[in-house]
A = this chain, B = another copy of it.
Amino acid sequence: MTTTVNESTRNGVDTAALFATLNAVKAAPEAARFQFRAHNQWLSGTHNRSTIAEFYGVGEERAHERSFTFDADHPAVLVGRDNGPTPVEFVLHALAACLTAGLANIAAARNIRLTQVRSTITGDIDLNGILGLDPDVRNGYERISVRFTVKGDAPAAKLRELVEQSRARSAVYDVITNRVPVDIEVDTD
């Protein structure tokens, strides 16, 4: 089978641009300083909405091509109205998305053509923690499990190495498995 895909594009990744970006950051490391942001507004009960629009990077303020909004809520069984997933479910999406994006980039850089990447990610949580009913139970997930199915034109060992390298370079995996300091300020005026 012959394909007519542009040789610099693999898996939908513009590898020429990817390597050009790497070289640009090598030459000017401060270009890699980014700040991401979300703006959240409470609506009612456990229902609230975030807007994600602008960010800072490569030395200047930037904007996504459009503004994204996401609702979060609790399901009825947790005394919400199910207007959106729970906040902890968005954490699972973030992790799956980060590992998958990295995997596609790494596969492209290694000249491996992917045909399918799927994952199911689960998080086990004991709500006795957040309900304040058991001081020995943490508030967050006890554990998170990711199960990938990866198919492409490389041996199984090479496909597994893609996942391993993506894990080793994943921002969200690092956030979840290592700690990030969070400071909170409150304005009541």
**Which A residues contact B (CB, under 8 angstroms)?**
11-14, 17-18, 21-22, 25-26, 29, 32-48, 50, 52, 55, 57-58, 62, 64-66, 68, 70, 72-80, 82, 84-105, 108, 114, 116-134, 138-151, 156, 159-160, 163, 167, 169-189
Contacts and interface: CB of A to CB of B under 8 A. Distances in A.
Instruction: Please state the number of chain copies in the assembly.
Output: 2
A91 B144 contact: no
A40 B118 contact: yes
Contacts of A128: 25, 29, 32
Contacts of A79: 13-14, 17-18, 21, 105
B104 A46 contact: yes
A126 B64 CA distance: 19
A170 B125 CA distance: 12
A35 B122 contact: yes
B35 A125 contact: yes
A36 B184 contact: no
Given A22-B131, A62-B75, A148-B184, A175 B38 contact: no
